[in-house]
Structure 1
Amino acid sequence: MDFTFLGTSAGSPTRSRNVTGLALSHAGTKPWYLVDCGEGTQHQLLHTRYSVMQLRAIFITHIHGDHTFGLPGLLTSASMLGRTEPLDIIAPPQVQHLIHAVIENSDSTLNYPLNFIDSEAADFHWHDEHLDVSSVALSHRVPCRAYVFTERWVERQLLHNRLQDDGIAPGPVWGELKNGCDVLLDDGRLLKSDHYTEIPRQPRRMIVAGDNDTPALLATAGKDSHLLIHEATYSQEVADRVGPWPQHSSAEQVARFAESAGLPNLVLTHFSSRYRSEPGSTPHINLLAAEAMQHYKGRLFLARDFDAYRLEKDFSLTRLNDH
């Protein structure tokens, strides 16, 4: 499971960070999925391997502009590029109104259908051939969600000794069993894939959270997850000074939760524009990493725009690029 950060800034962009967007793919880039779409997301995509022509679905965590203002431009550009395939948009109902209002009042058209799915529905669940997606309600100034992505298919391993003991010679039958298909032999025997194969590992699962001041709301989802991507808008000192109204998390809050939940990998993102990454600048963004490391012993990363990661089959997290 690969993902690339398209924007890591909270509220407004900085010279080095765009506002929120995350590209996610299960294998390769066809298809891929977008989580949130802040202003300028389509421009960020031009610097990556992801194409709007292969985009399968867009997941919006909540209605705030730094997570949604890029939608009209991205959608209309996809149309101008010749997209005709339908596109699922999983979002609060207001996002549908936003998109329609911009399209209708800008002399724009889309040459492909949009399939709007209410992310706030009590029975929300989405899947395709690669991923199952559920959601968790968070705590923010408006309704907000975390999306839990779980891979649907884990490759099976053949039980060679059992196949050989039952006189099943190597060949196409083995391939069908490995793909999860039962096989009826010419001699009338029905071979069950579950009997001759095993699934050697759990499905990979990752949580991509929207804005949230109560990380503990993810406790249940976190038990079976291998990665949490969560906002860390402030340090704890700044969060205490700003007060509760913005309803964001500090690096310390998220790190304490991830440690208590036993999450092996944590990526922090959605940083206040006050934090800088240039050498010698203050306050430096590394302050957030230092704060989190005091409370979390797993594998920790601070996201940067265009950082690409892979959640490996052994559930380790690898950064694929460095800059």
Structure 2
Amino acid sequence: MEFTFLGSSAGTPTRSRNVSALALGPNGPKPWYLVDCGEGTQHQLLRSRYSVMQLKAIFITHIHGDHTFGLPGLLTSASMLGREEPLDVIAPPQVQTFIRAAIENSDSSLSFDLNFINSEATEFHWEDRYFSVSTVPLSHRVPCHAFVFTERNIERQLQQEKLQADGIEPGPEWGELQKGKDVLLPDGRLLKADDYTQIARDPRRIIVAGDNDTPERLTDACQDAHVLIHEATYTQEVSERVGPWPQHSSAEQVARFARQVQLPNLVLTHFSSRYQSGPGGTPHINQLAAEALQYYKGQLFLAKDFDTYRLEKDFSLHRLEAY
């Protein structure tokens, strides 16, 4: 599983960071899924490996503009490029109204169907060949959710000794069983894939959280998670000075939570535009990392636009070299 940050700034972009968007794929950019779509996301895609033609679904955590304003432009550009495949948009109901209003009031149209799915529906669940996706309600000024991506169709391991003991010699049937398909032999025997294969590992699981001032909302979901991608808009000192109204988390809050639930990998994102990335900048983005490291001893990363990460089958997380 791989994911790439297309935007990691909160509220407004900076010279080096765009607003929120994340590309996620089961094995690189074909196919891939988009979580949030801040203004300028389609420009970010032009500097990445991801194509709107391979996009399978869009997931929107909440309605705020730094997570949604890029949608009309991205969708209409996909249409102009010739996309015809339908696209699922998993989002709050207001997003459907927003997209339709933008298209209808700009003399625009789409060459493909949009399937709107209410992310706020009770017992929401979505899945395709690659992922099963559920939601966790968060705490923000408007309804907001985290999306939990769980790997599906994990590779099977053949029980070769059992196959041979039952007189089933190596051949095409072994390959079909390993794909999870039942096989009918010429002698009339039906071989059940579940009887001759086993799944040798747990599914990989990544949580992509929207804006949230209460990380503890994710306690249950994090029990089986291998990566949490969560906002850290401020340091704790700035968070206390700003006050509770924005309803965002500090680096300290998230780090304390991650330690509490023994999370192996934590990726912080959605940083206030006040934090600088360049040498000598103040306040500097490294202050967020320093604060988090006081409380969290797992593997910590601070997102940067265009950084790509890979969650391996052994559940280790690596930041990849730039492509």
Q: Normalising by structure 2, report the TM-score.
A: 0.98
> Runs of 5+ in structure 1 lacking a partner?
none
Give the whole-Å Cα distance in 2 for the aligned partners of 1:167 and 1:112.
51
Partner residue in 1 for 2:104 = 104
1:322 deviation in Å? 5.1
Q: Which residue of 2 aligns with 1:160?
A: 160
Partner of 1:148: 148
Question: Could you list the per-position Cα deviations for residues 130-149 of structure 1 after superposition, in whole angstroms to 9, with x for gaps in the alignment?
Answer: 11110000000000000000
Match runs of 1:1-323 below 5 Å = 1-321=1-321
Looking at structure 2, the residues matched to 86 and 166 of structure 1 have their Cα atoms a distance apart, in angstroms, of: 46
Q: Deviations over 1:86-138 (max 9, x none)?
A: 11111111111111111111111111111111111113111111111100000
User: Residue type matched to 1:140 in 2?
Assistant: H
SS in 2 for 1:237: helix
Instruction: Provide the rounded CA distance (Å) in 1 between the counterparts of 2:101 and 2:320.
Output: 39
- Name the CA distance, whole Å, in 2 between partners of 1:81 and 1:185: 47
Q: What is the CA–CA distance in structure 2 between the aligned matches of 1:280 and 1:308, rounded to whole Å?
A: 26
Q: Distance in 1 between matches of 2:322 and 2:28?
A: 19
| Distance (whole Å) between structure 2 residues aligned to residue 15 and residue 292 of structure 1 | 24
| Post-superposition CA distance 1:3-54 (Å, at most 9, x none) | 1000000000000000000001112322210000000000000001110011
Identity of aligned residues (%): 75
Following superposition, the deviation at residue 79 of structure 1 comes to: 0.6
Whole-angstrom distance in 1 between the partners of 2:118 and 2:183 = 40
1:43-84 CA distance string (max 9 Å, x none): 000001110011111000000000000001001100111111
The one-letter code matched in structure 1 to 2:226 is H
* Partner SS for 1:115: strand
- How many equivalent residue pairs? 323
The AA in structure 1 aligned to 2:250 is S
Q: Secondary structure at the match of 1:110?
A: coil
The one-letter amino acid of 1:52's match is V
Q: CA deviation at 1:155?
A: 0.2
Structure 2: runs of 5 or more not aligned: none
Q: Deviations over 1:296-320 (max 9, x none)?
A: 1111100000000111100110111
Between the aligned partners of 1:112 and 1:322, the Cα distance in structure 2 is 32
Structure 1 residues 162-190: Cα deviation after superposition (integer angstroms, max 9, x where no partner): 22222211111111111112222223333
C-alpha distance in 2 between matches for 1:207 and 1:148: 4
AA partner of residue 206 (structure 1):
I
* Equivalent-residue separation in structure 2 for 1:84 and 1:188 (angstroms): 43
- Local SS of the residue matching 2:219: helix
The residue identity in structure 2 corresponding to 1:246 is P
Query: For residues 322 and 236 of structure 1, what CA distance do their matches in structure 2 show?
Result: 32
Per the TM alignment, residue 222 of structure 1 is displaced from its structure 2 partner at its CA by: 0.5
Aligned partner of residue 167 in structure 1, secondary structure: coil
Q: Deviations over 1:184-238 (max 9, x none)?
A: 2223333222222111100111000000000000011111111000000000111
- Mapped to 2, the partners of 1:111 and 1:196 lie a distance apart of 45
CA–CA separation in structure 1 for the residues paired with 2:322 and 2:259: 26
Q: Distance in 2 between matches of 1:292 and 1:14?
A: 22
CA–CA separation in structure 1 for the residues paired with 2:194 and 2:251: 44
Normalised to the residue count of structure 1, the TM-score between the two structures is 0.98
